[in-house]
Amino acid sequence: MTSPNHDMIECPFEADVLDALASARWPERVDAGLTQHVASCGICQDVIAVAAAMQDDKDAAWREANVPSSGQMWWRAEMRVRHEAIRAASRPITFAYIAAASIALTLMASVGWFAWPAMHGFLSAIASTQVSELSSPVILPLLVALGALLVVAPVALYLVLSDE
Ligand SMILES: [Zn+2]
């Protein structure tokens, strides 16, 4: 079994596999050579996996009728776009996730670091019931800002992660 090259995007047999899929010859009525190749080729296996997913959508449409050649061409173009989108999507999502998580962690750490003295002052003000401390012009805005950040940070994280 030859090890598939995961950096490779193109496979010379991909068109053959697409032809076999489009004309409903896969997997019974294809050359043994092609079957053997697919068994050892990650790209062609992806093509078949995507095709299987698309068959769920368009089963009746392209199986029952004889798909006209323009439809086949559209289908193959669509296949290629989805195939490449799936490959391209996996890395940026991981990167965006790590970036967003790092930003959120840094944000929370710095907010915690800077807010702690204010929190401490606020708590001791409550403890000693010095109401004048509560109306300090510095502490209240800090607490409001802290509360806003705690609300905004998860929302921002969600927006970043759901972008793709
Ligand atoms: Zn291949």
pLDDT in tens, 10-48: 899 998 998 898 888 888 889 999 999 999 999 899 888
Angle subtended by helix axes 42-64 and 32-39, to nearest 10: 120
pLDDT in tens, 77-133: 778 877 777 777 666 666 777 788 888 888 888 887 777 777 777 777 766 655 555
Distance, in Å, from the CA atom of 92 to the CA atom of 111, rounded to the nearest integer, reads 28
Cα(11) to centroid(ligand 1), Å: 5
DSSP string spanning 3-44?
A: PP-TT----TTHHHHHHHHHTT-TTTTS-HHHHHHHHT-HHH
Which pLDDT score is estimated for 61? 57
Which pLDDT score is estimated for 13? 92
Which pLDDT score is estimated for 154? 76
Global confidence as pTM: 0.32
Cα(41) to centroid(ligand 1), Å: 5
Work out the angle at residue 122's Cα, subtended by the Cα atoms of residues 121 and 126, and round it to the nearest 5 degrees.
115
Cα(78) to centroid(ligand 1), Å: 18
Which pLDDT score is estimated for 41? 93
